[in-house]
Amino acid sequence: MTDAYIYDHLRTPRGRGRADGALHEVPAIALASQTLAALRDRNGLDTRAIDDVILGCVSPIGDQGSAIGRVAALNAGFDDSVAGYQLNRFCASGLEAINSGAAQIMSGQADAVIAGGVESMSRVPIAADGGAWYGDPTVARQVYFVPQGIGADLIATLDGYTRTDVDTFALESQRRAAAAMADGRFAASLVPVRDVIGEVLLARDEHPRPATTLADLGALKPAFLQAGEEGGFAAVAMQRYPSVEAIRYVHTAGNSSGIVDGAAAVLLGSKSAGKRLGRAPRARIRAFASIGSEPTIMLTGPALATHKLLKRARMSLADIDLFEVNEAFAAVVMRFMRETGVPHDKVNVNGGAIAFGHPLGATGAMILGMAVDELERRNLGTALITLCVGAGMGTATIIERV
């Protein structure tokens, strides 16, 4: 089997995913094309050497529709011979794109692939693409659909996390993010996003709130109380979890991932492809796996995916130096740490999506890139990147420096 290597990666800063966010005027195609072009230019790539461009995108409709992987490559001026596609594994799409690209390389069916993801949540709102999962009454009933936030609050209920517990976690994410930004740790991997006249719209992450306090976080209203009680979803969750007397609504906008716009791209290739491109590998994709889990609580996948992956890779938790666990909601990462016993000082060391935001299709590639950079900065060997995934899934990837 051929090894798949990470040669480089880039990402846009994340803009607040609202009409007054810095990136709202930029359609997803431009976010993706600018990132692809920057990756090409920084590495001096002859794009004819690239076999495929794979972009994760969770709401592939409207601006983001029509196989955005292919169209973004064309729009970035890549050679016509470069194929492209879009894939959707909900929140792990960006990581799944990398895993899929790596799989092509490892199986000898491709030499070099660019994989990543894009999401302009300010322009194409979450769930804009619809779906039988929650919208077809027969299906929603059959699978006990509840929104993710209810799943997160259900985790907190079952694990006994209080509002203070999850807010404390969120505050630490903000603190770490602020420290990393102040230290300039992301500078080498960020592509400033430009407008149509070439002016920079955003050069650093827009979402973090470094000044926030526990009191600020504590003042926020529970985000899913209304959906749970008035929308009937708490009742659905309790039908699936009948030992729960009442859902504890602890998640807020402050301890859940932010809604943002952004894109990321990772250059993958075999050893020989790297030689042809004249690039040195920074890390190797060691193994990856996805799992399915109970879909109503939905967000317990990271620990399950991690266990499956470590087993397949014949590794143990002790072999992993750093963990990136997507901060979809505070309770997701707290559950991961509780189930695996991994200490917080190895997890999301530069903060996570609670501070930076979670541009759905792009996040997996972004946190993989952050892990590569941090391994290098700390001179460590291995990292495990994992995300919880809608409809009850988890995806995980292990990388190691070379």
Residues 6+ apart with CB under 8 A from 202: 12, 13, 15, 22, 23, 192, 193
Query: How far apart are CB 131 and other proteins at their closest, in Å?
Result: 6
Q: Name the residue among 101, 126, 132 with its Cα closest to residue 115.
A: 101
φ, ψ at 302 (rounded to 5°) = -55, -45
Stretch that binds other proteins, among 46-54, 134-142, 178-186, 283-291 (CB under 8 A): 134-142
Quick one: tokens of 269?
């290739």
From residue 116, alpha-carbon distances to 87, 244, 304, 355 in Å are 10, 39, 23, 21
Q: From the candidates 9, 24, 57, 91, which is the catalytic residue?
A: 91
One character per residue 205-244, x = contact with other proteins (rule: CB under 8 A): ----------------------x---xxxxxx-xx--xxx
Instruction: Name the amino acid, one letter, at 399.
Output: I
Nearest CB to other proteins, comparing residues 37 and 360: 360
Q: Which of 137, 210, 218, 292 binds other proteins (CB under 8 A)?
A: 137
Number of residues that bind other proteins (CB under 8 A): 31
Known active-site residue 388: yes
**Which of 9, 24, 207, 358 is flagged as catalytic?**
358
What is the nearest approach in angstroms of other proteins to the Cβ of residue 238? 6
Handedness of CA 190, 194, 199, 203 (dihedral sign): negative
Rounded to a whole number of angstroms, the minimum distance from the CB of residue 263 to other proteins is 23
Q: Which is nearer to other proteins, 97 or 247 (CB)?
A: 247
Using alpha carbons only, give the angle 151, 152, 158 rounded to the nearest 5 degrees. 85
Q: What is the dihedral of CA 118, 124, 128, 133, to 10 degrees?
A: 20
According to the binding rule CB under 8 A, does residue 158 interact with other proteins? no
For other proteins, the closer CB: 6 or 259: 259
For the purposes of burial, counting CB atoms within 10 Å of the CB of 130, is it exposed (0-12), middle (13-18) or buried (19 or more)? exposed
CB of 141 within 8 A of CB of 54?
no
Instruction: Identify the residue among 46, 136, 183, 376 touching other proteins (CB under 8 A).
Output: 136
Q: Which stretch binds other proteins (CB under 8 A): 35-43, 131-139, 263-271, 343-351?
A: 131-139
Q: How far is the CB of 16 from other proteins (least distance, A)?
A: 21
Closer by beta carbon to other proteins, 150 or else 367: 150
* Min dist. Cβ of residue 398 to other proteins (A): 36
Q: For other proteins, give the closer residue by CB, 39 or 124.
A: 124
140 touches other proteins by CB under 8 A: yes
Q: Is 57 a catalytic residue?
A: no
Sign of CA pseudo-dihedral 135, 139, 142, 144: negative
By beta-carbon proximity to other proteins, the closer residue of 129 and 165 is 129
Fill in the amino acid letter for 358: H
Under rule CB under 8 A, residue 66 binds other proteins = no
The minimum distance between CB 157 and other proteins, in angstroms, equals: 11
For the CB of residue 227, give the shortest distance to other proteins in the complex, in Å.
8
Q: How many CA atoms lie within 13 A of 48 on its CB side?
A: 2
In terms of CB distance, is 145 or 186 closer to other proteins? 145
Closest distance between other proteins and the C-beta of residue 236, in Å?
A: 5
Binding test (CB under 8 A) with other proteins, winner from 67, 74, 128, 158: 128
Contact 351, 180 (CB under 8 A): yes
Triad 87, 274, 320: Cα angle to 5°: 65
Catalytic annotation on 91? yes
Region 33-62 residues binding other proteins, contact defined as CB under 8 A:
61
Both structure tokens of 100: 């899929």
Nearer residue to other proteins within complex by CB, 132 or 402:
132
Q: Angle formed by the axes of helices 330-340 and 148-159, to 10°?
A: 40
Q: Which has the closest alpha carbon to 149: 357, 347, 390?
A: 390
Binding of residue 246 to other proteins (CB under 8 A):
yes
Per-residue H/E/C for 334-364: HHHHHHHCCCHHHECCCCCHHHHCCCCCCHH
138 binds other proteins (CB under 8 A): yes
SS3 301: helix
User: What is the contact surface with other proteins in residues (CB under 8 A)?
Assistant: 61, 125, 127-132, 134-138, 140-141, 145-146, 227, 231-236, 238-239, 242-246
| Residues tagged active-site | 91, 358, 388
